[in-house]
């Protein structure tokens, strides 16, 4: 279970709904609530509300500054957050934005939209109106929406800065739509207007009034948490909104609205003329469409420790590329590398089953059945490497370290070519096969923690491995250290500038495994490798699939597959590529702006 620090908005005139939600979410083990210090004139005193409910949150979990490293995620429920404020609140930790609509929206590692989005912006990781309010206990829910609307509650939140409570009550009393005796009035703890409502029952200062919604037939509220709480309890709800913005939200959500600033008489009478057809049926359909999952389920599904920012330079703020329900993709503004922030537990385990059952599902045969074709590809790679070395005469056999050697096809090809080989893999079954069947040296260990005893390798290779590391800086430094002067670093990886990535980026990223933390392309690779003491010598683009490139219409234009394949190779549109770089004496380290 991740440790969460909730940061609600307590800004004047923005209501208490953000605090109410965060109090509800923070009532869990290990969660904290951050509030501004009392006396800040921009905010109403939120701690006054918390003092009324001492059991909701232990005092030690209420903080005023986002200091300390005890939080796995910072959760912003602030409506609009400025970029500078975002940096201060985040403190280098991953941030979950809930209904964030300010400049901080694209900066959040993870976004949850519970309200409809009005402005054009990239979609959130999760968009689910059902998360606005959790499903209440059965005792707080009616069996169905009411057939008649007799008992009414006016509940416009904890602050009601627009004084909609009084305006609505007066209108109903004057128009004789509801008798004051049939209208209960809920006044929130921050209500600062005239509290007198003759003839009506006044419920003052309570923040838990929503728990009693099921005792009413109709609740009048503004767009926000209260409206969804009523829906969850199968109570009819009609909105009177404080602004045109809230009216647009209501319409986007499909919730019935009876005016802005005050009730609109004709609209209200039209909705109430035949409530079973014009109101209740609409609300019943809306309530049935809300998902049954809770925000707690979403939070508990987040895996701590996987979202770390750029795996190369450590920068935690990048330009967002795409978002999906369990991960986000960014491009680092410092080193230019595209990377993935994952928020669920890894689904792939590189054990014996992966190389047989999982590999067969993806490629139609097991890894060992594919052994000879992989070995043949390894011979071609060795030819490229020998060409880069220019046939230099070296005393003794050339030494090679293959990181992520699997069952050893490249090691076998290199050994036949005269290399002194060493394999390294996390899968013990694969290492055992290399040792016992191929009779080649290999160790089961993780990289870059592995210590070979001595460096001076002529060649270090990582075939479809480098994208799996969360700490690329340590990996590239270790590779540089292990290589002899002039040694070659060679690796293959998915091509972030290939045809699929270029023309079907969302599909390309969606299909990327959840443990591919970096996405390479030639432009960023050249810069990155140079910073870590390597000169890029050769790029070989592979994985050409012109039939996937509908955006280019290569085959549809009558080129035929051979010509389309040639065009794809000429333009470098393959979905994978190989990079061959030579060690230099300089090692600059992290690339900077």
The DSSP 8-state label assigned to residue 206 in this structure reads: -
- The kind and range of the H/E element at 74 are strand 73-77
Take residue 555 and report the two structure tokens written for it.
């085959």
Q: Are 4 and 31 in contact, with CB atoms under 8 Å apart?
A: yes
Residue 590 has pLDDT above 90, yes or no: no
Paired with 339 in beta bridges are 330, 518
More confident residue, 449 or 556: 449
My answer on whether 180 and 204 are in the same domain is: yes
My answer on whether 50 and 161 are in the same domain is: no
Q: At what angle do helices 281-288 and 225-232 cross, to 10 degrees?
A: 90
Take residue 296 and report the two structure tokens written for it.
């707690």
* Domain span at 482: 352-583
Domain membership of residue 593 (yes or no) is: no
> How do residues 240-260 score in pLDDT, each as one tens digit?
999 999 999 999 999 999 999
In angstroms, rounded to a whole number, what is the distance separating the alpha carbons of residues 566 and 144?
A: 65
**CA 172 distance to own-chain centroid:** 46
In terms of Cα–Cα distance, which of 21, 48, 19 is closest to 34? 19
Going 443 to 444 to 445 to 446, the CA torsion angle's sign is positive
| Final residue belonging to a domain, choices 272, 288, 304 | 288
Domain membership of residue 591 (yes or no) is: no
Q: Torsions phi, psi of 403, nearest 5? A: -90, 125
My answer on whether 480 and 558 are in the same domain is: yes
My answer on whether 164 and 27 are in the same domain is: no
Domain membership of residue 590 (yes or no) is: no
Q: Torsions phi, psi of 125, nearest 5? A: -65, -40
My answer on whether 307 and 200 are in the same domain is: no
The mean pLDDT value for 90-112 works out to 93
Share of the chain above pLDDT 90, in %: 63
Domain membership of residue 504 (yes or no) is: yes
Q: Torsions phi, psi of 219, nearest 5? A: -115, 130
> How do residues 345-365 score in pLDDT, each as one tens digit?
888 788 888 898 888 888 889
Domain membership of residue 496 (yes or no) is: yes
Domain membership of residue 476 (yes or no) is: yes
My answer on whether 369 and 467 are in the same domain is: yes
CATH number for the domain spanning 372: value is 3.40.50.150
> How do residues 190-244 score in pLDDT, each as one tens digit?
899 999 999 999 998 776 788 899 999 999 999 999 999 999 999 999 999 999 9
Residue 468 has pLDDT above 80, yes or no: yes
In angstroms, rounded to a whole number, what is the distance separating the alpha carbons of residues 505 and 525?
A: 19
> How do residues 527-560 score in pLDDT, each as one tens digit?
999 999 999 999 999 877 766 665 455 444 555 6
- Stretch among 167-171, 274-278, 454-458, 568-572 having the lowest mean pLDDT: 568-572
Overall number of domains in the chain: 3
- Stretch among 57-66, 138-147, 363-372, 415-424 having the lowest mean pLDDT: 57-66
Residue 65 has pLDDT above 90, yes or no: no
Pairing of strands 534-542, 576-583: antiparallel
Share of the chain above pLDDT 70, in %: 92
My answer on whether 326 and 448 are in the same domain is: no
Domain membership of residue 412 (yes or no) is: yes
My answer on whether 493 and 386 are in the same domain is: yes
Q: What is the pLDDT of residue 313?
A: 87
The mean pLDDT value for 486-510 works out to 93
Q: Which residue has the tokens 């300010």?
A: 102
My answer on whether 314 and 269 are in the same domain is: no
My answer on whether 400 and 301 are in the same domain is: no
Q: What is the pLDDT of residue 253?
A: 95
More confident residue, 52 or 122: 122
CATH number for the domain spanning 215: value is 3.40.50.2000
My answer on whether 208 and 335 are in the same domain is: no
Residue 278 has pLDDT above 90, yes or no: no
> How do residues 139-164 score in pLDDT, each as one tens digit?
999 999 998 999 999 999 989 999 99
| Final residue belonging to a domain, choices 342, 373, 406 | 342
Residue 447: which pLDDT band, with cuts at 50, 70 and 90? very high
| Final residue belonging to a domain, choices 288, 308, 326 | 288
Q: What is the pLDDT of residue 593?
A: 46
Domain membership of residue 592 (yes or no) is: no
* Chain mean pLDDT for the chain: 89
Q: What is the pLDDT of residue 520?
A: 95
Residue 489 has pLDDT above 90, yes or no: yes
The mean pLDDT value for 475-495 works out to 95
Q: What is the pLDDT of residue 591?
A: 59
> How do residues 420-435 score in pLDDT, each as one tens digit?
999 999 999 999 999 9
Take residue 4 and report the two structure tokens written for it.
């969460």
My answer on whether 48 and 71 are in the same domain is: yes
Residue 68 has pLDDT above 80, yes or no: no
């Amino acid at each position: 279970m991740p440790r969460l620090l909730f940061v609600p908005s307590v800004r004047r005139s923005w209501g208490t709904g953000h605090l109410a939600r965060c109090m509800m979410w923070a009532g869990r083990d290990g969660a904290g609530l951050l509030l501004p210090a009392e006396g800040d004139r921009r905010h109403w005193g939120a701690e006054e509300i918390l003092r009324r409910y001492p059991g909701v949150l232990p005092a030690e979990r209420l903080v005023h500054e986002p200091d300390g490293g005890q939080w796995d995620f910072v959760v912003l429920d602030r409506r609009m957050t400025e970029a500078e404020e975002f940096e201060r609140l985040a403190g280098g930790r991953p941030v979950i934005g809930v209904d964030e609509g300010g400049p901080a929206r694209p900066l959040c590692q993870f976004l949850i939209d519970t309200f409809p989005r009005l402005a054009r912006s990239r979609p959130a990781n999760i968009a689910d109106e059902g998360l606005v309010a959790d499903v209440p206990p059965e005792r707080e829910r009616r069996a169905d929406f009411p057939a008649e609307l007799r008992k009414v509650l006016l509940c416009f939140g904890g602050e009601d800065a627009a004084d909609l409570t009084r305006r609505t009550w007066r209108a109903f009393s004057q128009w004789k739509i509801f008798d004051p005796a049939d209208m209960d009035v809920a006044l929130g703890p921050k209500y600062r207007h005239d509290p007198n409502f003759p003839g009506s029952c006044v419920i003052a200062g309570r923040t838990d009034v929503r728990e009693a919604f099921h005792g009413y037939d109709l609740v009048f509220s503004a767009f926000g948490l209260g409206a969804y709480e009523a829906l969850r309890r199968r109570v009819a709800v009609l909105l009177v909104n404080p602004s045109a913005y809230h009216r647009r939200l209501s319409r986007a959500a499909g919730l019935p609205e009876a005016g802005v600033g005050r009730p609109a008489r004709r609209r209200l009478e039209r909705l109430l003329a035949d409530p079973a057809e014009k109101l209740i049926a609409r609300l019943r359909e809306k309530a049935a469409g809300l998902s049954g999952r809770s925000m707690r389920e979403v939070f508990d599904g987040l895996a701590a420790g996987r979202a770390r920012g750029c795996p190369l330079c450590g920068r935690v703020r990048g330009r967002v590329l795409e978002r999906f329900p369990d991960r986000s993709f960014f491009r680092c503004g410092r080193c230019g590398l595209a990377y993935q922030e994952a928020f669920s537990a890894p689904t792939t385990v590189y054990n014996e089953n992966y190389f047989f059952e999982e590999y067969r599902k993806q490629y139609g045969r097991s890894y060992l059945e594919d052994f000879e074709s992989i070995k043949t590809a390894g011979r071609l790679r060795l030819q490229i490497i020998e060409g880069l070395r220019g046939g230099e005469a070296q005393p003794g056999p050339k030494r090679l370290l293959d990181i992520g050697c699997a069952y050893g096809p490249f090691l076998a090809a290199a050994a036949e070519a005269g290399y002194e080989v060493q394999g390294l893999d996390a899968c013990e079954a694969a290492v055992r096969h290399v040792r016992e069947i191929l009779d080649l040296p290999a160790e089961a260990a993780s990289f870059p923690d592995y210590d070979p005893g001595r460096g001076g390798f002529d060649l270090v290779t990582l075939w479809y491995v480098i994208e799996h590391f969360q700490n690329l800086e340590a990996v590239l430094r270790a590779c540089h250290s292990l290589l002899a002067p002039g040694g070659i670093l060679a690796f293959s990886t998915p091509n972030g500038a290939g045809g699929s990535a270029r023309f079907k980026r969302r599909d390309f990223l969606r299909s990327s495994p959840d443990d591919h933390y970096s996405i390479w392309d030639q432009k960023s690779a050249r810069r990155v490798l140079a910073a870590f003491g390597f000169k890029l010598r050769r790029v070989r683009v592979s994985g050409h699939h012109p039939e996937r490139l509908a955006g280019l219409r290569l085959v549809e234009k009558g080129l035929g597959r051979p010509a389309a394949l040639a065009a794809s190779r000429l333009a470098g549109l393959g979905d994978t590529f190989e990079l061959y770089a030579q060690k230099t004496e300089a090692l600059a380290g992290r690339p900077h702006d």
